[in-house]
């Protein structure tokens, strides 16, 4: 037992004395705990069924005490071994609790009693964030906050009924020593990650009226007490009427005078057909003129490898893109161009099918190991395996040589657009959907949200790399993938590898995950080296996917299978940011419009935290001093989503003035062009540009 206590980390002698004292005082009470709990449960059940019962638990307990005293009957006797096991469990639990509370008292200046429980901790953190917590647990925003929104999960202490998880992204004020008001410096966020990160105060943006009323109803139902003294330092009183009076309305931050953030719009996936012809140029021209009328800065377009180099190696057809680029230049718009070395079709939002080049598919039929492969041997032809980067399997060329020849051809073909500054950025596709990640959650293989996905390292080339790494480490038997990592739609707790305390944190698990994530970084490093050579002084960027589901678990299983070694005790994005810094590349990140509370309501079992993930990745990039751009992961047409994007694009009162370098909207469509949706989009563009809007709700 002593060894287990040492593993939990050391505490001061004073804390140990407090802990031991608490154990000694409460051990004698252990024998009564089960009886009291059972009596309490029976009382609650009887009350719910309409059975006559004492008015309170105390009255029932008094009756039982009197009966015992009158009859002289002994207590229920439990076996000695059971008592000892109970004491050991309680000591273990209290040891952990004592260390948590000791740390909060010592470092956070929280005024917690010696035997505080988890409710005291949650209440203290909620009050720290500016919320009012009544003695009965009723929690709601204070008047001074102007009613904090239900969606501000970054500052609100929210408990999940299904998971008992408390998603707190911001640290207590006492950890922020000397930071300007409105900022939160994380000193020890998630076990040593994100050091010195500035977090903005909670968003002033409310949610929809339906959600606000639902939140308010919950606050009232949980017991608004009349003339009760408020917990903490607040001495006001509150009743039902006061709770109803503070119902929040949509409040917006004024972005007038803030930094200018360029806004681009993605063009439809099928704007160029498989013959490399521009589809409906007249209709596209009209839409682009409308975008230009609201001062959109430019558009983003995919240059598909499967279209340009479709039939014969090193024979490129750029004709449709030439006509498109000329239209964009005539309208004085800018271009973000994606080097798309992946197939289109089969993923969320794909409305066209554009496979890899035919000659690559022919090679794949005779050598399927050029594609990513899962444990069951299923191939994924969405993109080439990174194991082919240095293998001459593509008619005498390696994969990176094929990518370089394609990029160099594009640079030569469109030289005038580079010289005129029309092409402002090249985004280099590095994996499925053009993102830097493994294809760990393919819909075509049966994956459904929020499955953890599967490792994709079972082609012969990646297995050869794994064997070599295991031999170098001196453990050749580690040259295998995990055999207890579940399947595409497993949950972390259902697997031996990703569950709390699972093999992901074992010696073998750490070796495998280090190798798996390093393969991802090495692939990006190789391709970006050649991209920098091909495009010279033009800005290059890399798109990183937002794997936000299971973010609140210890293992971060979905991120691990995607190649991001980012469990709760390790920052998996700092190494990627450092690699991008080496090449002067920008980071383009997704899911900036998503709210944690929305995810919790829709898929509580996913334990997702997009807000926490966004802030971790943005700060990792800013700490590395690289430009950060972003885009929305899902279609967005409502003010709430736009406000969330603005909040992430321009953090409130950032002392370093950090903000997104650009934002790309997903995507141009007839739905966006509908009158109400487009008016909302126009308003969003103005605010991204730092202009004032007339209908701001303060």
DSSP conformation letters of 33-86? HHHHHHHHHHHHHHHHTT----SSHHHHHHHHHHHHHHH-PPPPP--HHHHHHH
Q: Among 18, 382, 631, 640, which one carries the catalytic annotation?
A: 631
Per DSSP, the chain holds a count of helices (H) and strands (E) of 22, 14
Alpha-carbon distance of 650 to 361, in angstroms, equals 44
CB 263 within 8 A of CB 663: yes
Q: What per-residue confidence (pLDDT) applies to 108?
A: 62
The reply, when asked if residue 420 is annotated as ligand binding, is no
Q: Residue 65, annotated ligand binder?
A: no
Ranges assigned E (strand) in 285-342: 298-304, 334-340
pLDDT computed for residue 129 by the predictor: 74
Backbone dihedral angles phi then psi of residue 46, each to the nearest 5 degrees: -60, -40
What per-residue confidence (pLDDT) applies to 219?
34
632 is in an annotated binding site: yes
Pairing mode, strands 139-141 and 131-133 = antiparallel
Q: What whole-number distance in Å separates Cα of residue 166 and Cα of residue 157?
A: 6
Tell whether residue 350 is among the known ligand binding residues.
Answer: yes
413 is catalytic: no
Q: Which of 222, 241, 239 is nearest to 230 (CA)?
A: 239
Judge whether 302 is annotated as a binding position: yes
The predicted pLDDT at position 63 comes to 52
- Give the sign of the dihedral formed by CA 546, CA 550, CA 554, CA 558: negative
Segments of the chain with pLDDT less than 70:
1-78, 101-102, 105-116, 136, 142-250
What CATH code is assigned to 263-444+522-696? 3.20.20.80
In whole angstroms, give the CA distance from residue 510 to residue 506: 6
Q: Which residues contact 243 (CB under 8 A, 6 or more apart)?
A: 140, 216, 219, 220, 224
Residues forming a β-bridge with 630: 589, 663
Instruction: Please report the pLDDT score of residue 223 as a whole number.
Output: 36
- Burial of residue 157, with CB atoms counted within 10 A of its CB: 0-12 exposed, 13-18 middle, 19 or more buried: buried
Please name which of 423, 397, 641, 386 lies closest in space to residue 519, comparing C-alpha atoms: 386
Tell whether residue 493 is among the known ligand binding residues.
no
**What confidence score (pLDDT) does residue 286 get?**
97
Residue 680: active-site member: no
How far apart, in whole angstroms, are the C-alpha atoms of residue 379 and residue 439?
A: 11
Is residue 543 marked as binding? Answer: yes
Within 10 angstroms of residue 686's Cβ, the number of other Cβ atoms is 18
The whole-number pLDDT of residue 94 equals 74
Q: Does 311 show up as a binding residue in the annotation?
A: no
Name the residue among 495, 405, 389, 491 with its Cα closest to residue 448.
491
Pairing type for strands 334-340 and 423-428 reads parallel
Query: What per-residue confidence (pLDDT) applies to 170?
Result: 39
Among 551, 480, 567, CA closest to 515:
480
In the chain, where the domains are located: 263-444+522-696
| Catalytic option among 425, 435, 454, 559 | 435
Would you say 106 and 99 are in contact if contact means Cβ atoms under 8 Å apart?
no
Between strands 197-200 and 183-186, the pairing is: antiparallel
């Amino acid at each position: 037992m002593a060894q287990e206590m040492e593993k939990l980390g050391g505490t001061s002698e004073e804390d140990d004395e407090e802990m031991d004292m608490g154990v000694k005082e409460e051990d004698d009470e252990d024998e009564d705990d089960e009886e009291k709990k059972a009596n309490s449960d029976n009382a609650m059940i009887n009350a719910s069924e309409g059975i006559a019962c004492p008015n309170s638990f105390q009255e029932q307990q008094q009756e039982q005490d009197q009966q015992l005293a009158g009859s002289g009957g002994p207590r229920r006797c439990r076996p000695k071994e059971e008592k000892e096991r109970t004491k050991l469990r309680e000591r273990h639990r209290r040891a952990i609790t004592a260390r948590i509370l000791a740390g909060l008292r010592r470092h956070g200046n929280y005024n917690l009693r010696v035997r505080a429980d988890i409710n005291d901790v949650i209440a203290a953190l909620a009050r720290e964030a500016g919320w009012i917590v009544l003695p009965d647990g009723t929690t709601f925003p204070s008047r001074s906050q102007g009613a904090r929104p239900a969606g501000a999960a970054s500052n609100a202490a929210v408990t999940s009924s299904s998971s008992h998880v408390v998603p707190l992204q911001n640290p207590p004020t006492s950890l922020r020593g000397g930071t300007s008001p409105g900022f939160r410096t994380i000193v020890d966020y998630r076990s040593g990650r994100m050091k010195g990160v500035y977090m903005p105060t909670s968003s002033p943006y409310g949610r929809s009226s339906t959600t606000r009323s639902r939140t308010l109803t919950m606050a009232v139902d949980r017991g608004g007490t009349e003339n009760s003294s408020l917990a903490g330092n607040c001495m006001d009183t509150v009743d039902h009427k006061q709770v109803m009076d503070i119902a929040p309305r949509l409040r917006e931050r004024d972005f007038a005078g803030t930094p200018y953030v360029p806004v681009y719009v993605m063009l439809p996936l099928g704007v160029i057909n498989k013959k490399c012809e521009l589809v409906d140029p007249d209709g596209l021209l009209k839409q682009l003129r409308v975008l230009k009328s609201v001062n959109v800065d430019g558009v983003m377009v995919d240059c598909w490898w499967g279209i340009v180099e479709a039939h014969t190696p090193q024979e490129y057809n750029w004709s449709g893109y030439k006509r498109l680029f000329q239209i964009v230049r005539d309208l004085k718009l800018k271009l973000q161009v994606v080097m798309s070395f992946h197939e289109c079709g089969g993923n969320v939002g794909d409305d066209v099918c554009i496979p890899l080049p035919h000659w690559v598919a022919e090679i794949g039929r005779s050598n399927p190991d050029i594609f990513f492969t899962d444990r069951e041997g299923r191939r994924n032809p969405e993109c080439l395996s990174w194991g082919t980067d240095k293998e001459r399997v593509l008619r005498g060329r390696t994969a990176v040589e094929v990518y370089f020849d394609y990029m160099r051809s594009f640079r030569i073909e469109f030289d005038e657009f580079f010289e005129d500054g029309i092409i402002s950025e090249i985004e280099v596709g590095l994996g499925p959907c053009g993102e830097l990640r493994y294809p760990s959650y393919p819909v075509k293989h049966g994956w459904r949200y929020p499955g953890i996905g599967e490792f994709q390292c079972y082609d012969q080339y990646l297995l050869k790399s794994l064997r070599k790494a295991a031999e170098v480490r001196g453990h050749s038997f580690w040259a295998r993938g995990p055999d207890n990592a579940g399947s595409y739609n497993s949950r972390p707790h259902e697997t031996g590898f990703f569950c709390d305390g699972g093999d992901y944190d074992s010696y073998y698990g750490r070796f495998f995950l280090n190798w798996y994530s390093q393969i991802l970084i090495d692939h990006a490093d190789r391709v970006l080296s050649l991209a920098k050579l091909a495009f010279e002084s033009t800005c290059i960027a890399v798109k990183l996917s937002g794997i936000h589901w299971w973010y609140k678990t210890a293992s971060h299983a979905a991120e691990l299978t995607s190649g991001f070694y980012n469990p709760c005790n390790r920052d998996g994005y700092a190494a990627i940011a450092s690699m991008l810094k080496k090449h002067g590349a920008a980071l383009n990140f997704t899911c900036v419009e998503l709210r944690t509370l929305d995810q919790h309501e829709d898929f509580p079992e996913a334990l997702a935290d997009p807000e926490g993930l966004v802030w971790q990745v943005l700060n990792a990039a800013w700490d590395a001093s690289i430009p950060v751009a972003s885009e929305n992961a899902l279609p967005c047409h409502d003010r709430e989503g736009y406000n969330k994007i603005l909040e992430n694009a321009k953090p409130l009162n950032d002392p370093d003035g950090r903000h997104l370098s650009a934002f790309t909207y997903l995507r141009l469509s007839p739905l966006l062009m509908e009158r109400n949706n487009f008016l909302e989009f126009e308003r969003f563009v103005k605010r991204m540009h730092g202009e004032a809007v007339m209908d701001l709700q303060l």
